[in-house]
Amino acid sequence: MNVLVTGGAGFIGSHVVEHYLNHGHEVFVIDNLSTGNRENIPFVKAENFFEEDICDLDLVGNIIKEYQFDLIIHLAAVVSVVDTINNPVDSNEVNITATLNLLESNRLYNNNIKRIIFASSAAVYGNNTQLPNSIMKLVNPISPYAIQKYAGEQYVKQYSNLYDIPTTALRFFNVYGPRQDPKSAYSGVLSIMQSSYLDEKPFTFFGDGTQTRDFVYVKDVVQAISLVADSDNAIGHVFNVGTGKPSSLMEVFEFLGNVLEKDISTNFVNEREGDIKHSYADIQELSNLGYFPKYSIEEGLYSYINESTKKEIGV
Ligand code: UD2
């Protein structure tokens, strides 16, 4: 198959690219490297890598016309909630307009398309307190990011209903794993925690560490993508992608300390404004398609540590 991964040089995208290459497909990437990194995907041929902006609507349309992709996994986005609050208009272009353009380009120019998969987010649930978060429940988008992801997934869904374009949207919960960049204060907390341990620097808890999240290992996210891509029953639907189990920040912190046999100092500061206290996914619909998270939080953290320490010592 010809597979296009937008945002393929990013954290999640690079794992998706690797998966499809390992399965013998021809993989193409569009990524403007604004947050992605070409070094994440050395295995992608130069001629299959387009260092281009997903907002360049004509260019994206031409690429689609030319390569007639079978499968498109659309991950390119402004992924930071804070960036969307600071730049609601620009992020709207990336997260909604470019998504709509991608759908429309396929409608107009690509009869070959077998599936478009869109990365939505648990952010659409906002601070709903009725847990687990289920796709049957109301959404409550409380940031431009959440609004944009919700709009994107609804466009994706309606392109299936209105125009018969086979699409699926996935609401990712808290994804973690190798190649997640810990450098920004708004990076995934597990990447920050892990690099604090490896560098033996203090870790700061926002709040008391009792908040919980559904931390899902990136390889299970890849499993979910590949599963829905192959399932006709997933067409026109939205699914949660998590493990279905919450873990507290403090539990994870202590587990990492035990495994790494390190004791780092901690600071406790006020919780972040608008922070959600508890969140986890109802994954029933995805399970009905055959999804089973292969990595418990413990197994995922082991794998993450192994990969990261291998990299540190240059293996
Ligand atoms: C996640 C997504 C975000 C959005 C949101 C919607 C990630 C990285 N972010 O935000 O894009 O979809 O869900 O609900 O997946 N924390 C600390 N210390 C740190 C950093 C974080 O205590 O140094 C806390 C943070 O205040 C929060 C928890 O850890 O309570 C998880 O933080 P996060 O930024 O990894 O993810 P979250 O759920 O806030």
Q: How far is the CA of 275 from the centre of ligand 1 (A)?
A: 8
pTM recorded for the entire structure: 0.96
Residues 91 and 41: their CA atoms lie apart, in Å, by 25
Residue 47, pLDDT > 80, answer: yes
Residue 281's DSSP bridge partners are 133
Residue ranges and CATH numbers for the domains of the chain are 2-175+215-243 (3.40.50.720), 180-212+245-282+295-313 (3.90.25.10)
The per-residue pLDDT for range 265-279, each reduced to its tens digit, is 999 999 987 788 999
Q: How far is the CA of 145 from the centre of ligand 1 (A)?
A: 14
Whose tokens are 């035990």? That residue is: 258
pLDDT of residue 276: 87
Q: Torsions phi, psi of 227, nearest 5?
A: -65, -50
Least-confidence region, from 81-85, 218-222, 287-291? 81-85
Peptide bond into 246 cis (omega under 30): no
What Cα–Cα distance (Å) separates residue 148 from each residue in 32, 94, 152, 171? 20, 9, 6, 13
Residue 45, CB half-sphere, CA atoms under 13 Å: how many?
A: 7
**Is the beta carbon of 189 within 6 A of some atom in ligand 1?**
yes
Residue 202, pLDDT > 90, answer: yes
**Which of 78, 125, 174 has most ligand 1 atoms within 8 Å of CB, for mutation?**
174
**Is the beta carbon of 117 within 6 A of some atom in ligand 1?**
no
The protein residue whose alpha carbon is closest to atom 29 in ligand 1 is: 189
Ligand 1 closest atom vs CA 187: 8
**Is the beta carbon of 119 within 6 A of some atom in ligand 1?**
no
Helix-helix angle 249-260:297-312, to 10 degrees: 50
Token output for 23: 């399965």
Q: Torsions phi, psi of 221, nearest 5?
A: -65, -40
**Is the beta carbon of 208 within 6 A of some atom in ligand 1?**
no
Mean pLDDT of 146-175: 98
Residue 49: enclosing H or E segment and its boundaries? strand 49-50
pLDDT of residue 313: 52
Residues 236 and 271: their CA atoms lie apart, in Å, by 38
Residue 315, pLDDT > 50, answer: no
Q: How far is the CA of 177 from the centre of ligand 1 (A)?
A: 14
**Is the beta carbon of 212 within 6 A of some atom in ligand 1?**
no
Residue 19, CB half-sphere, CA atoms under 13 Å: how many?
A: 21
Ligand 1 closest atom vs CA 277: 30
Q: How far is the CA of 68 from the centre of ligand 1 (A)?
A: 37
**Do the Cβ atoms of 171 and 153 come closer than 8 Å?**
yes
Please calculate the CA angle 119-170-233 and round it to the nearest 5 degrees.
135
Whose tokens are 């901690």? That residue is: 266
Res. 311 pLDDT band, cuts 50 70 90: low
The per-residue pLDDT for range 56-107, each reduced to its tens digit, is 999 999 999 999 999 999 999 999 888 999 999 999 999 999 999 999 999 9
**Is the beta carbon of 218 within 6 A of some atom in ligand 1?**
no
